[in-house]
Amino acid sequence: MVIDARNMHFKDLNESIRRSPDASIEIQNCCGQRYIGCGLSGKELQIYGTPGNALGAYLSGANLFVHGNGQDAAGDTMDGGSIYVDGNHAVQGGCQVFDEEFAAILSEMKAAKTIEEYYVGAAKLQDYYAAHMPLIALYWDNMMLAYSSKLDNVTVDAVFGLNNVNNWFSITKK
């Protein structure tokens, strides 16, 4: 199936994707439509243009290929599948880096044909960050969080720490 997304509202585009019986869908003229592929499984999307925010959020096994640029929150909380962006992935608060070593690493990652090749490049990128930008947190799995011992029903979330929806409604005083 081929969808021309020119001037199409994001809700209509996403509905067309979900209703399609085709496992492979090509989206042409994408320009800022949000939430493409959210929660999607069992499909492959070839997206030409620039999808909007939250591309592939909650992705659940689908494969998304962007032939263009991306926007914020691509792959947010996805639990399976893959997202490949051929262009530049614009990141909120990001910056341009003009460094030959950095560019070579990104080119290697972009050229990866398998997830294993991509992981090799990602490891090089982490090493680059560690050597050149020592204030970037590279690991999330070792958090220290403090809260009052006068509270009960406190939940520590692996991603959001203490700032999570469970705590908004369940914390009580001892």
**114 and 135 in contact (C-beta within 8 Å)?**
no
Residue 102 CA to residue 123 CA, distance in Å, equals 12
Beta strands at 151-152 and 172-173: parallel, antiparallel or unpaired: antiparallel
Per-residue pLDDT of 37-95, as tens digits, reads: 999 999 999 999 889 999 999 989 999 998 888 888 888 888 888 888 876 544 433 34
Q: Which residue has the tokens 């991509």?
A: 118
| Assigned token pair, 41 | 């499984």
pLDDT tier for residue 155 given thresholds of 50, 70 and 90: confident
Give the pLDDT score at 142.
Answer: 59
**104 and 121 in contact (C-beta within 8 Å)?**
no
State the pTM of this model. Answer: 0.53
